[in-house]
Amino acid sequence: MPSTLQHSSKTPISSGTPSRGRFFLELLVAFLVTKLPFVSVPFKWLESYFHELSHGLATLFTGGAVSHIQLFPNGAGLCFSQGGWSLAIGFAGYFGAALWGYLIFTFATWPKGIRFSFGLLGAGVILTTLLWARDLLTISILVSLALLFLMPLKLNLNRYLATSLRIMGLMVILNALASPTVLFGLEGQGDANMLAEQSWIPAWFWVLVWLATSAFMLFLCWRRVDRQAEKRQIK
């Protein structure tokens, strides 16, 4: 009986998932940062990187080959590839960026693995640089993104690392939510028009699917927070 009481009095290990209020605060911070001039630029690059990376991975998964990727200061990007299933490759960009944002947020709810998560993401950017970056501008942008993940490892407090990683994931999702809207009315350009040509389904349909996907990823982040809050209340 004494041992049982001693065990139950221990403070539960934090899940790393924020409270409901903190989630909305972090979402607000993420939204504001994406709107700030200059400060938002690296995070636009981040969404663009995951967008082009998703194109590249879809190419490889469907039997194609990636030549290189190219990133631009305004947040635009290109993925040069041959072969593969063009429909999956075209769809993967905006869908993949939103999915990566959700995965980053999920990584940030793993307290013991925060440093590993930052290191893994930074290593992924470095590997992409080695494999697919060819021009100096793209290399410079990717190096900046690698530092964005690796520099926070100098911090000793996991709490701040987790918060920054969650906000980063939310910013990727928010940028993925905003980016497809520029495709409305864009004739003959962009992933939506390419998919329209491949599938005979109107470009606006694909844009709506991407918007719904990004909104759903944001909802999944909220559900993760909400479920953990319910578990805390039960305890």
Q: Which tens digits make up the pLDDT trace of 180-199?
A: 888 776 666 789 999 999 89
pLDDT at residue 113 in the model: 83
* CA gap 223, 235 in Å, rounded: 18
User: Do β-strands 65-71 and 77-82 pair in parallel, antiparallel, or remain unpaired?
Assistant: antiparallel
Burial class, 229, CB count within 10 angstroms (exposed 0-12 / middle 13-18 / buried 19+): middle
User: In whole angstroms, how large is the CA radius of gyration of the chain?
Assistant: 20
pLDDT at residue 234 in the model: 74
Structure tokens at 74: 């305004």
| pTM confidence score | 0.88
- Which of these, 105, 210, 207, lies nearest to 163 by C-alpha position? 105
Mean pLDDT of 190-219: 93
pLDDT at residue 124 in the model: 97
Mean pLDDT of 157-173: 88
pLDDT band at 82 (very low <50, low <70, confident <90, very high): very high
Is the predicted pLDDT of residue 142 greater than 60, yes or no?
yes
pLDDT at residue 169 in the model: 96
pLDDT band at 160 (very low <50, low <70, confident <90, very high): confident
In our burial notation (b when 16+ CB lie closer than 10 A, e otherwise), range 160-197 reads ebbbbbbbbbbbbbbbbbbbbeebeeeeeebbbbbbbe
Mean pLDDT of 22-35: 95
CB atoms closer than 10 angstroms to residue 154: 6
In our burial notation (b when 16+ CB lie closer than 10 A, e otherwise), range 126-143 reads bebbeebbeeeebeebbe
